[in-house]
Every structure is written in C-alpha cells, then in structure tokens.
Amino acid sequence: MNDRQEEAAVPPSLRNLQILEVLAQEARPMTPTEINALLKLPKPTIHRLVGTLEQEGYLTRHIDGRSYLPGPKLRQMMLGVMRAGHHHVPRREILTRLHEAVGETCNLSIPDGDAMVYVDRVETHWPLRIALQIGSRVPLHATASGKACLASWSDAAIGRFLGEARLRAHTAHTITDPDRLRDEIMRIRAQGYATDAEEFVPGMIALAVPVLDDRQRLTATLSFHAPIQRLSLKDGLAHLPTLQAAAQDLARLL
C-alpha cells in the first residue's frame, strides 16, 4: 500500500485524536517517530499533524527539543473532563464514604504541569476548614498530593524538577532544599503515601496516596486535609488504610 492509500485508510477527523490518544496511553514524552511506530501513518503526515497540534497549543515541545507532551489546550480539556466527572455518582459515593470515615475534607487531584489541580472534593461540615475549591492549583513540592505525584516520576524527571523548579517556602515547614526534598520523595516512593506537616498552609496537615491505573501509573491522588487543632498528623495516619482502600476503589473507576 502506498503512502496515499495508507493515509486514506484513516479518516482525517481521527488522525489528530489518534496522536493525542497515543500520548495519553504512553504517558511520556514521545517523538513523532515513536508516535508513528504505533499509528503507521506516512512520515510527512505525522510530522505535519504534530506540527499543527503544537502550533494550536494541543502539544508542547519537551525540554529535549525532539519529543512532545500535552500542551496547554489539551491539559485544559483533560481538566474539563475530570471536572465534569464531579457529577459521576460512583466517584462521589467513594469520596463521600471516605469523608464520613475520616470526618475531614477529602480531595481528588490530578497533575497539571508544575502543580496539582483539585478536580473533586467533599467538604467537612466543621466550621473550621481550609478553603481550597475545585480547580485550585497547589504546588508539587509543598503538598501531600504533589509529593505523592513526584514520587511516581522517574529519577531523571525528579532530577530535572529539582534542578529547575522554584521551591518557594509557603510556610516555615516547607522543604525548599533540593537534597532534602529528594530524600523526602524517595521515602514517599518506598512507603506508598505522602504527608504534609504544615508545609503549605500553617496549621494544616494532609495525607495523600496515589490512584494508579492498570499499568501502575499515577492518574490522580486521593487525600484529606485538616487543621491541627482537630487532627494531628499522627492521628491522621490512623486513617491510612481507609484512604488506600478508597484509592483502590477509585482506580477501578478511573
């Protein structure tokens, strides 16, 4: 089959979606050649389509200059899909059950560039609460959900982050030293959960676990946070098995 026949075999309206689907499934930076190894489109076609997707903001060039990642428009679409799932009854039931067991605000977050974004939450009924609404962006290095995400990255990606990120001190307890943060990330990777001991908001603790897909890749994080006047970090860790069980239930849905 020649190039024109191969190109005609794929409906034009689906080619861009196929490229985005490959990037989503592989969950890593990919060159046009790597993408096309799976799609089998003509070489001029794949380079033209990737170039157009980059120009329109659906893809962005990776730091290596050769491969591509989801761009700002695609990330916004992904966030929109997750936010629309706010009305997904089974997911809300899992978050509600977790909230009832813990008694504090429970959050579902997904990575978005250099931050985590809250895409769903069930608020505590206590009058003393920390107001972080759906759509809030929180830093990777200073939150339990963000550090749980970092722990899922490769060592090379963690090294690039530590070398490039601005590790802003949000409180007196924020880890801003790259070596200390690397040690913290390795500890989180080994134990399977992350904590926030007043590192993002003074007087707030948090506990987070990853929500993994069937290939053991992080798709989201599940967490709860509380003021220390009501729940210490030590007491919060007693809820870890409940949090992990809820994350497994969410993984089956997501």
What span, in angstroms and rounded, lies between the C-alpha atoms of 87 and 79?
14
**Is residue 91 pLDDT above 50, yes or no?**
yes
The DSSP symbol for 85 reads G
Check whether 44 has a pLDDT greater than 60. Answer: yes
Place of tokens 């120009």: 55
Take residue 223 and report the two structure tokens written for it: 């967490």
75-253: CATH number: 3.30.450.40
- Region of 226 (left: φ > 0; alpha: ψ -120 to 50; beta: rest) is beta
- Which CATH architecture group holds 3-70? Orthogonal Bundle (1.10)
pLDDT at residue 2, rounded to an integer = 47
Beta strand pairing call for 194-197 and 137-139: unpaired
pLDDT digits (tens, 9 = 90+) for 131-169: 666 777 899 999 999 999 999 999 999 999 999 899 999
Instruction: Kindly tell me if the per-residue pLDDT of 87 is higher than 70.
Output: no
**Is residue 226 predicted with pLDDT exceeding 70?**
yes
Count of positions (residues) in the chain? 254
Q: What is the mean pLDDT of residues 67-87?
A: 68
Give the domain ranges of the chain.
3-70, 75-253
The pLDDT tens digits of the residues spanning 166-190 come to: 999 999 999 999 999 999 999 999 9
Q: Which residues contact 77 (CB under 8 A, 6 or more apart)?
A: none
DSSP 135: T
Asked if residue 110 has pLDDT above 90, the reply is no
| Residue percentage of the chain with pLDDT more than 90 | 48
pTM: 0.71
Residue (of 140, 139, 137, 136) closest to 148 by Cα position: 140
Q: pLDDT-derived band of residue 1, with 50, 70 and 90 as boundaries?
A: very low
Section 48-59 average pLDDT: 86
pLDDT band at residue 9, thresholds of 50, 70 and 90? low
Say what the pLDDT of residue 88 is: 62
Name the least confident of 80-94, 95-109, 206-220.
80-94
Q: How is residue 218 written in tokens?
A: 């992080």
